[in-house]
Structure 1
Amino acid sequence: MKNIYLVAALVVSVFLWSCGKDKKESKAPKEEVKIKKTPPQIKEYGFLLNDYEVVRDTIRLGDSFGGIMDANGVTRGEVFRISEKVKDTFNPARIVAGKPYTILKSKDTSATVKAFIYENDRINYTVVDLADSIRAYRAKKPVTIKRKVASGVITSSLSGAMDNEGLSILLADKIADIYRWKIDFFKIQKGDQFKLIYNEKYINDTVYAGVENIEAAVLTHYKNPYYAFEFGKDSVSGFAKYYDEEANSLQSFFLKAPLKFSRISSRYTKRRFHPVQKRWKAHKGTDYAAPTGTPIWSTADGVVIKSSYTRGNGNYVKVRHNDKYTTQYLHMSKRNAKVGQRVKQGDVIGYVGSTGLATGPHVCYRFWVHGRQVDPYKQNLPSSEPLKEELKPDYFLHIEDLRKQLEEIPFKKLPPKIL
C-alpha cells in the first residue's frame, strides 16, 4: 500500500513540475518577426521609377544631347544612331538651357540608359525610349482643372491688384487680353474693381501649372461695369471669344494700345515743347513709354506700306488697314515687318527703342483717318463682327448661371486709409 502512495506522489510531483516549467517557458519573450516594408511605387512619365536608377538634371549652357548621353555611358556612334531615328519627333540640336531632363538606367552593373525624358514645358515632355527599340514620342503629365472665383480692387495697377489678392500675375495678362479692345489699361483708375470665374491647371493635382481660361468676368471702370463671357472660339486663331451681357463682341477693329502694360508719356496735342528740338510744335501721336525690347503690336489687320528708318522717326513701320484707317509706329529698336507683308491684329511688328529723335525708350503711335492725322482716342472706331442672331438664344442660356455666380461674389473695396 505504501508503494502505491509513493508512486502516486511521484506522478503528482512530476506533473506539477512540468506545469511550472511550461508556465515559465510561456513567460519567456517571443522572438519578433521583422516584416520587410515594400517601398511605395513611384510612377512618372509612364515608367515605374522603382525599376530604374534615376538621374535628374537640368540642361546647362553649352550642354548637348551627345555630351549628356556620353557622360551617362552612351557611345558617340550610338548617339548618332539615336539622333537619326528620333529627329522627326525630338531634335537633339534644339535642347534649351534651363529645361529639366531625366535619364532612366538599368539597375544592374551595366547601368544601361533605357530612356531620356526631356521636359518641353511644365506639362509637355518628350520621351526617347531606348529599352527595346529606339523610338521617341510626346506625352503630357496628368493635369487637373480646378474652378475658382476671385475679386479685387485696383490701387495702382491690375498686376498690383492681383498680387494684393495672392493671385497669379498670369490672370492679369488674361484679363488684359480679354478687355484690351474695350478698356485702356493706361487709364486704369484707383478703385476700379473686378470679379472672376476662372479655371487653373494643376499637375498631379498639386503643382500649379497656369491659367486654363476665364469663364466670366466683370470689371468696373469709371464705375461702369464691363462684363465678359467666354463663348466659342475664333475659327482662324483658335482663341476664345468673349461677349458682354448683351451679346456684343468685346473684340474691336482696333486695339486700345499698341503694347502691353506701360504708361502714356505724351499725348496727341497741337502744341508741345519738343524735348530734343527744344521748340514748341504739334505732337500728332501718343507716346507709350516702355522698356527697350517690349513687343509692339499692329492694332488692327492690314498691310505694311512702310518699314524704314529716318532721322526723326528712327526705325518705324506704317500699316494701312483699309481705305479709311492707317497707323504708324515710331522709334523702334528693331523692325519685325516688311513692306507688302499682311499683318493680323496683335502681330508683333517691332520692338520698343529710342531711335530717331527720342530721349528714352518708347513707341510713338500715330493714327490717320482718310489721310488726316487724328487722336485715336477721340474716334468712334468700328467693332468686330457681332454674334450671329441664331446663336444668341444659346448664348443667353449659357451666361444665365454665370452671371448669377458673378453676382454672388462680393466686390472688394479700397481700405479707408487709401481713399
Structure 2
Amino acid sequence: MKKLGLLFMMMLAFTACNDDEKEQAVKEVKEEKPVPVKKEYGFILDDYEVLKDTIESGDSFGFIMNENGVDHGKVFEISEKVKDTFNPARITAGKKYMILRAKDSARTPQYFIYENDKINYTVVSLGDSIYAETRKRPVTVKRREVSGVIVSSLSEAIQDQGLSNLLVYELSNIYQWSIDFFRLQKGDQFKMVYHEKYIEDTIFAGIEKVDAAVFKHSEKPFYAFRYNVDSLTNKPSFYDEEAKALQSFFLKAPLNYSRISSRYTKRRFHPVQKRWKAHLGTDYAAPYNTPIVSTANGTVIASGYTSGNGNYVKVRHNSKYTTQYLHMTKRAVRNGQLVKQGDVIGYVGSTGLATGPHVCYRFWVNGKQVDPYRQNLPSAEKIKDELKDEYFAYIQPLKAELEEIEYKSI
C-alpha cells in the first residue's frame, strides 16, 4: 500500500509538472510578436510577387510591359484608357517603379506603380478594370531652428551641420534683393526657423517653408519674415522688421548663386581680342546650361546671335531700365515675349567672344550703359499702414524666437 501511495504521489507530481510546462508553452506562444505587415504605396506586398526597378534611358512603358508578359494589344488598351491621368510616353529615366504580379502560375501583372517624385506616385491598374490614379505618400512636417557661420561659403556652412543644400537656395532666394551672395564675408552669420517635410516620418522630402530668418552680413542684421498680404493670390512674401518688402525691382544677379569673374570697368584686357578695352558688363561664371533669369519684369526686345555677343537676350523693363544677357548656349525666349522677374530666358554658354562658360550681364539707365552695383535701384512697396499693426503682432514671437537662437561663431 505504501508503494502504491508513493507511485500515486509521483504521478500527481509528474502531471502537475506537465501542466506547468504546457502552461508555460502557451504563455510563450502568446508572447510571440506578430509578424509586421509590409505595406508600400498602400498595397500589402505579401499578397503579390513584387518587382522593383528604375526607368533606364531608352525604356518605354510598352517595353517594360512586354518584358513582364503584357502583350502589345493590352498595352495599347491601357495607354488609351489612362493617358489623361498617366501619359505612358512621358516616363522619365531615373524614376523608380514597381510591378505587382499575381501569385499564380501565369504571374499576371496586376499593378504598375510609378514614382512621380518623392511624395507623389501613380498607380496603374492593369487587370480587367483598367484605371490610373495619382496618390500621395503620408507626409509629416517638422519645425526646425538652425544657426550657421560663413567660413568660406554658404554651401559649406550648411553642409558642415549635415543640413540639406536646399537651405542654400532658400536663403539666397529670400535675400537675393538685399544681400550680394557673391560678396559674403568670413564671419557672416545666419539663423532660421523653418519646416522640413518627411515621408513616413523618416525620409527627408524637402523644405516646406521658412517662417523667419536673420542674416548678419558685414555686422548688419537683415531680418526676413514670411507674411501674406494678398488674400487673392494667397502667395506670401518676405518683409523685414520695419514692414519693408525684401523684394526689389531688380534681382542682384541673373543667375542663382555663382561667382563674379569680371566686373564693369572702363579698362580691361580682353582675353580673346588681346587688347585693352572697356568692359561695360558684369561677368558671372557658372557651369554650362545653368539657367539665366530676367532680373526684372519686362519685354524681350531682342533675342538673337552676333559674332561678339553669341546667343543673347535683351529685355526692356520700362522707359528707364534695360538689361542684356550674353554668351548663352541657347535662348529660351523670343522677341516680343513678356517675362517676369525670375523667368528663365536662356542658359549659360560660351558663344561669341568668350573663353569659358559665363553670362555677361549688361545694364542700361536712360539708354546709357552703367554699373548696376552703383545704382540706387527702386524697391518694392512696404506693407500698407493699415496692416502694419497686425504684421508687427505676427512677427513679434518669431523675432523673439530668433533672438533665443545662439549665433554660431568660427
Tell me the equivalent position of 2:241: 245
Question: 1:57 offset after TM fit, Å?
Answer: 1.2
1:136-193 Cα deviation digits (max 9, x unpaired): 1111100000000000111111111111222111000111011101111111111110
Following TM superposition, by how much is the alpha carbon of 1:78 offset from its aligned partner in structure 2, in angstroms? 1.3
1:97 aligns with 2:97: no
3-state SS of paired residue (1:359): coil
The residue number in structure 2 matching 1:228 is 224
Shift of 1:65: 1.3
**Matched ranges for 1:330-369 at <5 A:** 330-369=326-365
User: How far apart, CA to CA, are the structure 2 residues paired with 1:136 and 1:116?
Assistant: 9
C-alpha distance in 2, partners of 1:124/1:234?
29
Partner of 1:19: 9
Determine the C-alpha separation between the residues in 2 that align with 1:234 and 1:335.
33
After superposition, the Cα gap between the structure-2 partners of 1:18 and 1:242, relative to the gap in structure 1 and judged at 3 Å, is same
Equivalents in 1 of 2:107, 2:81: separation in Å? 22
Report what 2:377 is aligned to: 381
Unaligned 5+ residue runs, structure 2?
Answer: none
1:149 paired residue number:
145
Please state whether the residue corresponding to 2:228 is helix, strand or coil: strand
**Structure 2 CA distance, aligned partners of 1:218 and 1:203?**
29
Deviation digits for residues 354-379 of structure 1 (CA, Å, limit 9, x no counterpart):
11122222111111111011111111
Matched-pair contact (CA < 8 Å) for 1:304–1:342 = yes
In 1: Cα distance, 2:147 partner to 2:33 partner: 48
What is the Cα deviation at residue 51 of structure 1? 2.1
- The answer to which of 387-396 and 259-268 deviates more is 387-396
Correspondence for 2:38:
42
| Deviation, structure 1 residue 237 | 7.9
Deviation at residue 43 of structure 1 after TM alignment: 2.6
**Does the C-alpha gap of structure 1 residues 189 and 52 become closer, same or farther in structure 2, counting only changes over 3 Å?**
same
- C-alpha distance 271-77 of structure 1, shift in aligned 2 (>3 A): same
State the number of aligned residues: 404
Quick one: which of 315, 320, 327 aligns to 2:323? 327
Q: Is the 8 A contact 2:314 2:325 kept in 1?
A: yes
Deviations 1:12-66 (A, max 9, x none): 6544433334434555695756858743122322222232222211111222212
Q: 1:268 to 1:310 in 2, by over 3 A?
A: same
1:226–1:363: structure 2 CA closer, same or farther, 3 Å change rule?
same
1:404 aligns with 2:400: yes
Describe the superposition over 1:224-266 as per-residue Cα deviations: whole angstroms up to 9, x where unpaired: 1100000127789875410000110000000000111221111
Relative to 1, partners in 2 of residues 1:39 and 1:307: Cα closer, same or farther, differing over 3 Å? Answer: same
Evaluate the alpha carbon distance shift between residue 16 and residue 312 of structure 1 in structure 2; reply closer, same or farther with a 3 A threshold.
closer
Q: Which protein shows a greater Rg?
A: 1
Larger mean Cα displacement after TM superposition, 211-220 or 61-70: 61-70
Contact 2:228 2:234 in 1 (8 A): no
1:24–1:138 Cα change, 3 Å: closer
Greater CA deviation, 388-397 or 202-211?
388-397
Q: 1:109 aligns with which of 97, 101, 105?
A: 105
- SS of the equivalent of 1:188 reads coil
Aligned equivalent of 1:284? 280
State the alpha-carbon separation in 1 of the partners of residues 18 and 215 from structure 2. Answer: 78
Alignment CA distance shift 1:318-1:15 (3 Å) = same
Report whether the alignment pairs 1:298 with 2:288: no
Question: Offset at 1:391?
Answer: 2.4
SS at match of 1:18: helix
Corresponding residue for 2:309? 313
CA distance in 1, matches of 2:308, 2:394: 52
Secondary structure of the structure 1 residue equivalent to 2:81: helix
Q: Secondary structure at the match of 1:84?
A: helix
Which shows bigger deviation, 154-163 or 100-109?
100-109
Indicate the SS of the match to 2:171: helix
Which residue in 1 is equivalent to 2:132? 136
Residue number in structure 1 paired with 2:258: 262
Whether the 8 Å CA contact 2:300–2:337 is kept in 1: the answer is yes
> Is the 8 Å Cα contact of residues 234 and 241 (structure 1) preserved in structure 2?
no
Amino acid at match of 1:160: E
Q: Any idea what SS the aligned residue of 2:260 has?
A: strand
Distance 1:98 1:65 in 2: 14
Which deviates further from its counterpart, 283-292 or 141-150? Answer: 283-292
What is the SS of the residue equivalent to 1:407? helix
SS of aligned partner of 1:340? coil
Q: SS of the residue aligned with 2:304?
A: strand
SS at match of 2:387: helix
RMSD, aligned CA = 2.1
Provide closer, same or farther for how the CA distance between residues 396 and 18 of structure 1 changes in structure 2, counting only shifts above 3 A: same
Contact 1:332–1:350, Cα closer than 8 Å, also in 2: yes
CA distance in 2, matches of 1:235, 1:132: 47
TM-score, normalising length from structure 1? 0.91
Cα 1:65–1:235 shift into 2, 3 Å: farther
Partner residue, 2:117: 121
Indicate if the aligned counterparts of 1:316 and 1:335 stay in contact, CA closer than 8 A: yes
In structure 2, the CA distance between the partners of 1:339 and 1:17, relative to structure 1 (3 Å rule), is closer
